[in-house]
Amino acid sequence: MSKGLLIVASGPSGVGKGTINRMMMERLSGIEYSISVTTRSPRGGEVNGKDYFFVNKSTFFNMMNEDKLLEYAEVFGNYYGTPREYVEGELAAGRDVLLEIDVQGALQIKEKIPEAVTVFFSPPNMDELEKRLRGRATEEDDVVIRRLMDAAWELSQQNKYDYVLINDELNRGVDKYIEIIKKEREKRK
Ligand code: 5GP
């Protein structure tokens, strides 16, 4: 059986990558979303086993030591990782898998699995990103500043991705995103 396509999507907080991934998955069938493991606490409305697997640090470190994570990284003081068995199983069964992970994780994946397709979502400009981060009622001022600083670092790494897509407030990046995935699927036939 042909192996599935591994899609790795990153972009700074506030760029709308969650929304754009959801829109893409509504329009393209056959893509499985990999649920990450994290040590951060659930935000309001988040569901364990749907948004993330919420675990404590000792569980996370055990998974790391037992090589159960395909990649992992520390982001904003919390740990995040991709469960290996799920992703490898889906790919081996010929299904496509989407990872929505940070830059550090995406670069680890690209090194281990060069045939993975990496996509970076970039904001039209920093002012727009700041506006969107400030618009999120949940974020405190210092969190916004921290996230903007991290965004600047993430943006400096975007040339390491296979594709960079500019996403505006209307999520107009989604059409190009779908085109890319279709093209990459064709290549693998
Ligand atoms: P949030 O806490 O806002 O859900 O996510 C913070 C950052 O961690 C985002 O950039 C998100 O893409 C990233 N992230 C989520 N899951 C993973 C993962 O499994 N591995 C890595 N490296 N980053 C992740």
- Do 122 and 41 contact (CB within 8 A), yes or no? no
pLDDT value, residue 171: 87
CA 82 to mean position of chain CA atoms: 10
Nearest Cα neighbor of 53 from 75, 25, 97, 83 is: 83
Q: How far apart are CA 26 and CA 128, in angstroms?
A: 26
Closest ligand 1 atom to 13 CA? 10
Residue 83 has pLDDT above 60, yes or no: yes
* pLDDT 10s digits, 15-63: 889 999 999 999 999 999 999 999 999 999 999 999 999 999 999 999 9
pLDDT value, residue 137: 67
Of residues 134 and 71, more confidently modeled: 71
Minimum CA distance residue for ligand 1 atom 14 = 101
Tell me, in angstroms, the distance from the centre of ligand 1 to residue 28's CA. Answer: 23
Section 142-169 average pLDDT: 92
Q: Provide the pairing of β-strand 78-83 with 69-75.
A: antiparallel
Query: And the tokens for 40?
Result: 């951060």
Tell me, in angstroms, the distance from the centre of ligand 1 to residue 36's CA. Answer: 8
φ and ψ of 143, to 5 deg: -65, -40
- Do 48 and 41 contact (CB within 8 A), yes or no? no
- Do 118 and 162 contact (CB within 8 A), yes or no? yes
**21 in contact with ligand 1, CB cutoff 6 A:** no
Residue 2 has pLDDT above 60, yes or no: no
**36 in contact with ligand 1, CB cutoff 6 A:** yes
Q: How far apart are CA 24 and CA 32, in angstroms?
A: 12
**100 in contact with ligand 1, CB cutoff 6 A:** yes
φ and ψ of 99, to 5 deg: -110, 130
Tracing tokens 């790919």 back to the chain, one arrives at: 91
**39 in contact with ligand 1, CB cutoff 6 A:** no
Band (pLDDT 50/70/90 cuts) for residue 1 is very low
Section 66-77 average pLDDT: 95
Q: Which amino acid, residue 138?
A: T
- Do 120 and 166 contact (CB within 8 A), yes or no? no
